[in-house]
Chains A and B, each alone.
Chain A
Amino acid sequence: MSLLSETGKYFLLMKRVFVFPDRQKMFFRQFPKELEKLGLQSLPIVAIISVFIGFIMTMQTKLNTSNPLLPVYTTGLVTRDTLLLEFSSTILCLILAGKVGSNIASEIGTMRITEQIDALEIMGVNSANYLILPKIIAFVAMMPFLVIFSMALGVGGGYFVGVLTNIMTTGDYLIGIQYAFVPFYVVYSLIKSMIFAFIISSVAAYYGYYSYGGALDVGKSSTNAVVNGSILILFFNILITKIMLN
Chain B
Amino acid sequence: MIEVKNVNKSFDGNQVLRNVSAVFKTGITNMIIGQSGSGKTVLMKSIIGLHRIDSGEIRYDGRNLPDMKMSDIRILRREVGMLFQGSALFDSLSVLENVMYPLEMFSPSTKEEMVERARFCLQHVNLEEKAFGLAPSEISGGMQKRVAIARAIALQPKYLFCDEPNSGLDPKTSLIIDKLIHEITHEFDITTIINSHDMNSVMEIGENIIFIEKGEKAWEGNNSDIFHVDNQALNDFVFASELYKKVKKSNQ
Contacts and interface: CB of A to CB of B under 8 A. Distances in A.
A120 to B, nearest CB: 9
Given A116-B91, A122-B48, A23 B104 contact: yes
Interface stretch (B52-60, B74-82, B214-222, B235-243): B74-82
B50 A116 contact: no
Nearest to A125: B105
B85 interface: yes
A115 B91 CA distance: 12
B75 A124 contact: yes
A1 to B, nearest CB: 16
B104 A124 contact: no
Interface in B76-120: 76-78, 80, 82, 84-86, 88-91, 101-102, 104-106
A126 B86 contact: no
B50 A121 contact: yes
Contact of A26 (B48, B84, B105): B105
A114 B77 contact: no
A99 B88 CA distance: 26
A123 B88 contact: no
Interface residues of A, number: 17
A198 B1 CA distance: 45
A23 B74 CA distance: 14
Interface residues of B, number: 22
A111 B86 CA distance: 12
Contacts of A6: none
A25 B89 CA distance: 21
Contacts of A121: 50, 77
Interface in A115-149: 115-116, 118-119, 121-126
Given A23-B105, A124-B75, A115 B85 contact: yes
B115 to A, nearest CB: 15
Contact of B86 (A115, A122, A125): A115
Contacts of A123: 77-78, 80, 101-102, 105-106
B84 A119 contact: yes
Nearest to A33: B92
Given A122-B48, A123-B78, A114 B106 contact: no
A122 B48 CA distance: 8
Interface of B: 48, 50, 74-78, 80, 82, 84-86, 88-91, 101-102, 104-106, 161
* Closest A-B pairs by Cβ, 5 of them: A124-B77, A115-B88, A119-B88, A124-B74, A124-B78
Interface of A: 22-23, 25-26, 110-111, 114-116, 118-119, 121-126
24 contacts: A110-B91, A111-B91, A114-B88, A115-B86, A116-B88, A116-B89, A116-B91, A118-B50, A118-B84, A119-B82, A121-B50, A121-B77, A122-B48, A122-B50, A122-B82, A122-B161, A123-B77, A123-B80, A123-B101, A123-B102, A124-B75, A124-B76, A124-B77, A124-B80
Given A122-B161, A124-B80, A124-B105, 5 more contacts: A23-B105, A115-B85, A116-B88, A118-B50, A123-B106
